[in-house]
Structure 1
Amino acid sequence: MSDPMSVLAMAGATTIVGAMATSAWEATRGRVAELFRRRGADEPATVGAQLDGDARLVTDDPDPQAAREDLLRPWARRLAALLNEHPEAGEDVRLLVERAAAELPPGTQQWVQHVTAHAGGTAFGAQGPGSSVHVHLPSTPGADDGPVGGAGRAG
């Protein structure tokens, strides 16, 4: 997922499943259902029923976070399909993400980031308020053990 619409679809999906079983759910649910109105007058009811079922899965699961992770890809696909059919919906998805994030209780505002480096590369990542990057390089025989550099820089 590297193109902007796919990234937006994943952000929307993360927002949707992240809001399930929180105080932000009802408002988020309504916005998501309305977003799909572009596909037809009956679509908000259909999407609303899917959202209700998925929210129950999250609520009833002994591991709600695992349930959210399982629901992430299907919602990303639904949003990607909607954005493919209706690119003008992109701004509404952005607003959905912003509004839901503002309504989530502070303890549920989470950021997940996967940073990968291959073939000897180096990768850094930081997000969220007060973020910093700490670099720990592997020690070589005779080298000083421990972190190298400071927050946000290597060496």
Structure 2
Amino acid sequence: MDPIALAAGTALVGAMANDAWQGARSAMTELWRRMRPEQADAVDAELAETRAQVLSAREVGERETEQALTADWQLRLQALLRAHPEVADELRNLLDTRLAPLLSAEEQSAVGSLVMKAEASGSGRVYQAGRDQHITER
């Protein structure tokens, strides 16, 4: 699955539990309105329904329900990206500017994606890490 779809679906469902969620909902609905206008109203209603389910699940501690809702939105976003690959940058921007800021620090760390590329030539070395890195050379 596309890492953007995974991260955006996770962040979307996580952001639903936040009071400032309405802006993210509007942005997601607008994205759908441009890419699949015939589905936009249904997606908007489904976002509201999913939010109610997320809030209910969190209230009673049903982590599995929230995970299932996250998987559902990840699949929807994957299908949107498959049909409209040109929307990837916009979805990444939506993730970074509208969804991720609504999440707690713990939720943000679960959403992040990391892509590292490096090239060394000659006697060059490359050290990369997604978190802590300790290098001891003698």
How does the TM-score come out when normalised to structure 1?
0.64
Matched positions, count: 118
Aligned-residue RMSD, C-alpha: 2.7
Paired with 2:23 and 2:6, the residues of 1 have a C-alpha distance of: 19
Look up the SS of the partner of 1:110 in the other structure.
Answer: helix
Tell me which moved more, 74-83 or 60-69.
60-69
Q: Which residue number in structure 2 is paired with residue 39 of structure 1?
A: 36
Q: Which residue number in structure 2 is paired with residue 135 of structure 1?
A: none
How does the TM-score come out when normalised to structure 2?
0.71
Judging changes above 3 Å, is the alpha-carbon distance between structure 1 residues 75 and 105 closer, same or farther for their aligned structure 2 residues? Answer: closer
In the TM superposition, what whole-angstrom CA distance separates every residue of 1:91-127 from its partner, at most 9, and x where no partner exists? 11011111135532655643228xxxxxxxxxxx755
Q: Give the unaligned 5+ runs of structure 1.
A: 114-124, 133-150
Q: Which has the larger radius of gyration?
A: 1
Q: Identical aligned pairs, as a percentage?
A: 30
Corresponding residue to 1:152 among 111, 134, 137: 134
Q: Does residue 27 of structure 1 match 2:23?
A: yes
Higher relative contact order (CA 8 A, sep 6+): 2
In the TM superposition, what whole-angstrom CA distance separates every residue of 1:48-76 from its partner, at most 9, and x where no partner exists? 11111110001112126443212111111
Paired with 1:64 and 1:25, the residues of 2 have a C-alpha distance of: 20
Paired with 1:105 and 1:19, the residues of 2 have a C-alpha distance of: 6
